[in-house]
Structure 1
Amino acid sequence: MTNTAIITGASRGLGLALARSLAGAGWSLVLTARGSGDLERVAAELGATAIPGDVTDPAHVRRLAEAAPELDLLVNNASDLGVTPLPPLSIYPLDAFRALLETNVTAPLALVQATLPALRASRGGIVNITSDAATGAYEGWGGYGASKAALEQLSNVLSAEEPDLRVWWVDPGEMNTRMLADAVGAEEAAAASDPAKVAAALHDLIASRPASGKVSLQ
């Protein structure tokens, strides 16, 4: 029987690397990202279903859930960095902060709610990608870190409320991605971990199905 996963933010970075890893193991994939061109190319490469769109759009969330009526894994990987250059909290634009929470907190919860019936039926798993910025006091990272702290607590409570599921909130560590480059510069980002190596560790986690909880892949 083929396992099925939904992966958000799947056109690049960790989402793309995990999609490739799971596809290589025979998983059926429903992939989403905002950019349709890159996503369609990834889906064609992997034999996956591509549903481009914005995870903050309720209609898009419904389409994703409808595309996977039988579901074993939800990976909430799509994320927004927020305002760049990263500003201190004293001048963080509040409209931008609200938008950041919508993408990094509300959208993952909406997708969890939409897919819970299928995940309960399969006793499946949920991976919420977080960050060490959720707990570290890094200057300039207050907006992003606050959103990831909220996602961690959301995951924590969800794991208590859904004991038949596996819920993991995963800190992947610094990776050489466009998002990190936008935050710290391309040169520093190039020294970070390869997303493919992080995806391999994440795939091992998914396959071994440990108890729900926070996981650091650093």
Structure 2
Amino acid sequence: MTRKSQARVALVTGGTAGLGLALTKALAADGWHVITDGRNEGRLKEADLPPVVAAVVGDITDAEHRSALVNRVWEVGRLDLLVHNASTLGPLPMKPLGEVRIEEMAEAWRTNVGAPLVLTGELLPWLRPGESTLVSISSDAAVHHYETWGLYGAGKAALDHLTLTFGAETGVAAYAVDPGDMRTQMHQDAFPGEDISDRPLPETVVPRLLRLLEQRPESGRYRAEDFR
């Protein structure tokens, strides 16, 4: 396929807050052209994204929205990095697995598993073996077992598996990355009423993600702290 953009191109889902926003801004500052999205138009405006960022409003579980993201990639003509960052905790307050309804599981997995699966498939023509990189933001809940975290953790474990299998099938560098606890609204939602001011800001995690992209280790599951 003919490349139109001379700059490296990244698609980061869920780039309006938290780690997604911090990563989007860092990539843009490093000269990347970034495509990102978010469900809330107001939050996208508040994010104060630089001009090199193309922000698309919509829900990642919506097929038309995913098509809009794919079209953006077609317009720029290349894709060097795909980051699956958008996710949901599921029903709040979080609950034990025995209380989770099938409808709640389906809704959470549409965001955390189904949407990344389908979007990656739709973007395979642009993911170049040996050049492009696929990253999914994981969690230690994917490999450890915490009360009330079962639904979220199972989804992240599934996403890890899908990501690394895509890598095995395509030859694209693929990473499932656990960023660790962070001071984000999502983390606060998981621990309502708890003081999370001791957690690191997402901006402190981003340099480790950039180091991973620079070093390009063997495809696999990593912790951000592995790249201090």
Q: 2:58 aligns with which of 53, 69, 74?
A: 53
Q: Does 1:87 align with 2:99?
A: no
TM-score (norm 2): 0.90
Of Structure 1 and Structure 2, the greater helix share is in: 1
Give the aligned residue type for 2:145. A
Residues 118-157 of structure 1 aligned to structure 2 (within 5 Å): 118-120=126-128, 123-157=131-165
Q: Does 1:63 align with 2:71?
A: no
Segments of structure 1 that go 5 or more residues without pairing to the other structure are: none
- Deviation string, structure 1 residues 95-152 (Cα, Å, up to 9, x no partner): 1111111100000111101111011278301110110001111000011011011111
Compared CA separation, residues 47 and 79, structure 1 to 2 (3 A): same
- Deviation string, structure 1 residues 37-79 (Cα, Å, up to 9, x no partner): 2213436435311111000011111110110121111110000
The match for 1:23 is 28
User: For 1:62 and 1:121, how far apart are their aligned partners in 2?
Assistant: 23
The match for 2:205 is 198
Q: Does 1:177 align with 2:184?
A: yes
For the 8 Å contact 2:37–2:58, the answer to whether it is kept is yes
**Structure 1, 4-13 or 85-94: larger mean CA deviation:** 85-94
User: For 2:220 and 2:128, how far apart are their aligned partners in 1?
Assistant: 18
Compared CA separation, residues 121 and 158, structure 1 to 2 (3 A): closer
Segments of structure 2 that go 5 or more residues without pairing to the other structure are: 1-5
The percentage of aligned residue pairs carrying the same residue is: 39
Give the aligned residue type for 2:25. R
Instruction: Name the SS of the counterpart of 2:50 in structure 1.
Output: helix
The match for 2:216 is 209
Q: What is the aligned-residue RMSD (CA, Å)?
A: 1.5
TM-score (norm 1): 0.94
For the 8 Å contact 1:198–1:217, the answer to whether it is kept is yes
